[in-house]
Chains A and B, each alone.
Chain A
Amino acid sequence: MKSRYLPLAATTAIFLIAYALCYAQFPAMLSTRVIGNLLTDNAFLGIAAVGMTFVILSGGIDLSIGSVIAFTTVFIAVVLANSSMHPLAVFALALVITTLFGATMGAIIHYLEMPPFIVTLAGMFLARGMAFVLSTDSIPIAHEFYSVLQSLYWRMPGGGRLTLIGGLMLLVFLIGMVLAHRTRFGANVYALGGGVATARLMGVSVGHTTICIYALSGLLAGLSGIVFSLYTTAGYSLAAVGVELDAIAAVVIGGTLLTGGSGFVAGTLLGILIMGLIQTYIIFDGTLSSWWTKIVIGVLLFVFIFLQKGILWATSRNAAALENAHGR
């Protein structure tokens, strides 16, 4: 097996083993009801994590997504409360704003040659601050269109519900996979993650790609904010604090190399599901406290980073051995 598939294989194995262990203890875990809830509860995180996957594949990082989600929910709630605009128009407006926001960060990163970490940190403060300026209260959303959207679901065999937002997450993952593995943009992202200088020599338009990557991350963070507002039926400027960390953790657990250039969008979906599974298990168990989630995710992060280091070390040793043999 090629070594680049190894992290993905490890993630899949861990997910299957974990699910099997959960199933052995609580047979109800395999019902479509639990699976449907797993998808619905993690929909906003999953959508944001797809954007994060692209950013990390390109060797960057985006710390602003949690704040952008909060800004989107507040923006939607405030506009809906103060005007007669249709929610769909408000959604479109919100997506345009967040995409432009992401594109601006990408442009700053590229043209001013500044580290993504600090630029998106400024973006994080800015987006959260904008949300605070719009409103510091939690604003309920009482538009009838919201109840229509919330009542949309597909009843799976076994009584589980695949809700609109759960299905939307799966659709975003599907589009993300096609975009990453079947388009020129995807190839450019991987090339950028492999090294900016080599990508430029290969003829990749570095500036254009960087701006597109952060614009995509902004767009998906905005979409995630829409999903979050559907999920909670409210806009709150303190919502979704720390989501960027959960998204990064999901991407790493999904087997994507944090140095960029190697990984799969599908792995991120597995990462999201593993994190959701830990939470579901804790709820099923009833005696474990919620903080075990954080500790287990921390341990998983360590295991995967350690595994990736091992693979990198092994492949570089193989390459060195090949080179030596060739030289002689």
Chain B
Amino acid sequence: MNAETLGAVRRFLPQIVALFAILAINTAVFPGFLDITVQNDRFYGSLIDILNRGAPVALLAIGMTLVIATKGIDLSVGAVMAICGAVAASGVAGGGSVAMAVTTALVVGVACGAWNGMLVAMLGIQPIVATLILMVAGRGIAQLITEGVILTFNNEGLAFFGSGSIFALPVPVLLWIGMGVLVAFVVRRTALGLLIEAIGVNRRAATLSGVNSHVLLITVYMISGLCAAIAGVIAAADIRGADANNAGLWLELDAILAVVIGGTSLLGGRFTLLGSLIGAMIIQSINTGILSSGFPPEFNLIIKAVIILLILVIQSPALRTFVVFWRGPKEEVFDKEQSAP
């Protein structure tokens, strides 16, 4: 194992340990949890199911990570999912081609992101407020497109995005992994990631040192819109229908949670896409574990709340000050702080 991988493993150790602990508990409670079988040239099993069901949250978490890195937040992703699912479904229900329907949905998603980005960048509105507008109005718009009913369709081409498989893996899994690799490659192999972090740490300083913060902010929100659009198409394709009321409901909160669990601070700056994706899988493992182990699903929310609180306490600035104070001002502590990124 080379130094780089070792560093990554050490950095994500808490998340990886949490993920494996949850999977271990699941296996203990539900024997056969780790079994993977091949049927009809496709993998089946609980692990594959976690990867597959976690696709929408993982996709949203990719866009949300970048937005949170700029010290923003995107509350509208759930509503954008509903809009884009409705657009795709109404496209094929109206007799259009699948490529056309999906392209329109993606364009609409990017446009929604551009709207959010413009409110944040140009008008200087707080992100939580700017995206609240689309969060409230978005479901209304989605219902306008579906005309208030669950718009069902019978198009194998579009359904492929939800239930199809390539190389024995479900399409949603490939989509979120592909999108994650693509975005990570673009932001980490260019200076873009660094510039996004600069905006998050201090937008004014970044602008003064020559970062085009307007364009960058709008782009980041557009990426978030694009991710939400793909998630919306998957959600609609999965149930072969667009449900304007329930598609993506509260998923923005799960996505924010995934990002926070992954180790990205809500205060902006340093971000990690890999961490967010692991976070999304942790959330889905908890959901699947609770469902398959026969544990009452009522406890799902309480367990989630306790996990958020634990992670927040660990991340909280007050506790860090306390720990530093308690250990005394040893150099070791500061070294760790600085070598973390």
Q: Does B201 contact A (CB under 8 A)?
A: no
> Which chain A positions have C-beta within 8 A of B137?
294-295, 297-299, 301
Q: A129-B302, A248-B132, A297-B137 are in contact. Are A112 and B73 (CB under 8 A)?
A: no
Q: Does B158 contact A (CB under 8 A)?
A: no
**B residues 99-131 touching A (CB-CB < 8 Å):** 123-126, 128-130
Q: Does B313 contact A (CB under 8 A)?
A: yes
Q: A117-B128, A126-B302, A245-B132 are in contact. Are A291 and B266 (CB under 8 A)?
A: no
Residue of B nearest to A245 (CB): B136
For the complex, would chain A's binding face be called helix, strand, loop or mixed by DSSP majority?
Answer: helix
Interface hit among A3-11, A19-27, A212-220, A302-310: A302-310
Residue of A nearest to B140 (CB): A294
Interface hit among A40-48, A130-138, A185-193: A130-138
In the complex, the answer to whether B128 meets A61 with C-beta atoms within 8 Å is yes
In the complex, the answer to whether A295 meets B305 with C-beta atoms within 8 Å is no
Q: Does B276 contact A (CB under 8 A)?
A: no
The contact of A305 among B129, B257, B312, B317, by CB within 8 Å, is B129
- B144: shortest Cβ distance to chain A, in Å? 6
In the complex, the answer to whether A126 meets B301 with C-beta atoms within 8 Å is yes
Complex CA–CA separation, A291 to B148 (angstroms): 8
The contact of B134 among A122, A136, A259, A298, by CB within 8 Å, is A298
Q: Does B70 contact A (CB under 8 A)?
A: no
In the complex, the answer to whether B301 meets A298 with C-beta atoms within 8 Å is no
> Which chain A positions have C-beta within 8 A of B266?
115, 117-118
In the complex, the answer to whether B132 meets A309 with C-beta atoms within 8 Å is no
Q: Does B141 contact A (CB under 8 A)?
A: yes
Q: Does B202 contact A (CB under 8 A)?
A: no
Complex CA–CA separation, A291 to B138 (angstroms): 10
In the complex, the answer to whether B128 meets A129 with C-beta atoms within 8 Å is no
The contact of B139 among A112, A125, A291, A305, by CB within 8 Å, is A291
Complex CA–CA separation, A118 to B144 (angstroms): 32
In the complex, the answer to whether A297 meets B136 with C-beta atoms within 8 Å is yes
The contact of A129 among B133, B267, B299, B309, by CB within 8 Å, is B299
The contact of A302 among B133, B143, B257, by CB within 8 Å, is B133
Q: How large is the interface on B (under 10, 10 to 19, 20 to 34, 35 or more residues)?
A: 35 or more
Q: Does B319 contact A (CB under 8 A)?
A: yes
Residue of B nearest to A303 (CB): B133
> Which chain A positions have C-beta within 8 A of B298?
129, 132-133, 136
Complex CA–CA separation, A245 to B125 (angstroms): 18
In the complex, the answer to whether A129 meets B308 with C-beta atoms within 8 Å is no
> Which chain A positions have C-beta within 8 A of B267?
115
Q: Does B154 contact A (CB under 8 A)?
A: no
- A124: shortest Cβ distance to chain B, in Å? 8
In the complex, the answer to whether B301 meets A112 with C-beta atoms within 8 Å is no
> Which chain B positions have C-beta within 8 A of A136?
298
Complex CA–CA separation, A125 to B283 (angstroms): 14
Complex CA–CA separation, A294 to B306 (angstroms): 32
1/0 per residue B291-324: CB within 8 Å of A? 0000011111111111011001100111100000
Complex CA–CA separation, A291 to B137 (angstroms): 9
Q: Does A128 contact B (CB under 8 A)?
A: yes
> Which chain B positions have C-beta within 8 A of A249?
132, 136
1/0 per residue A247-291: CB within 8 Å of B? 011001000001100000000000000000000000000000111
- B289: shortest Cβ distance to chain A, in Å? 16
> Which chain B positions have C-beta within 8 A of A108?
309
- B60: shortest Cβ distance to chain A, in Å? 15
In the complex, the answer to whether B144 meets A295 with C-beta atoms within 8 Å is yes
- A253: shortest Cβ distance to chain B, in Å? 11
In the complex, the answer to whether A293 meets B140 with C-beta atoms within 8 Å is yes
Complex CA–CA separation, A118 to B317 (angstroms): 14
Complex CA–CA separation, A44 to B292 (angstroms): 38
The contact of B316 among A112, A248, A293, A302, by CB within 8 Å, is A112
In the complex, the answer to whether A305 meets B125 with C-beta atoms within 8 Å is yes
In the complex, the answer to whether B126 meets A298 with C-beta atoms within 8 Å is no
Q: Does B55 contact A (CB under 8 A)?
A: no
Q: Does A145 contact B (CB under 8 A)?
A: no
The contact of B309 among A122, A258, A305, by CB within 8 Å, is A122
- B85: shortest Cβ distance to chain A, in Å? 15
Q: Does A146 contact B (CB under 8 A)?
A: no
Residue of A nearest to B310 (CB): A122
Complex CA–CA separation, A306 to B130 (angstroms): 10
Besides the known contacts A126-B301, A295-B137, 4 further A-B residue pairs in the complex with CB atoms under 8 A apart = A112-B313, A121-B257, A248-B132, A290-B148
Q: Report, nearest first, the 10 A-B pairs whose CB atoms are least far apart.
A: A298-B137, A294-B140, A129-B301, A129-B302, A291-B143, A125-B305, A132-B298, A126-B305, A295-B140, A112-B316
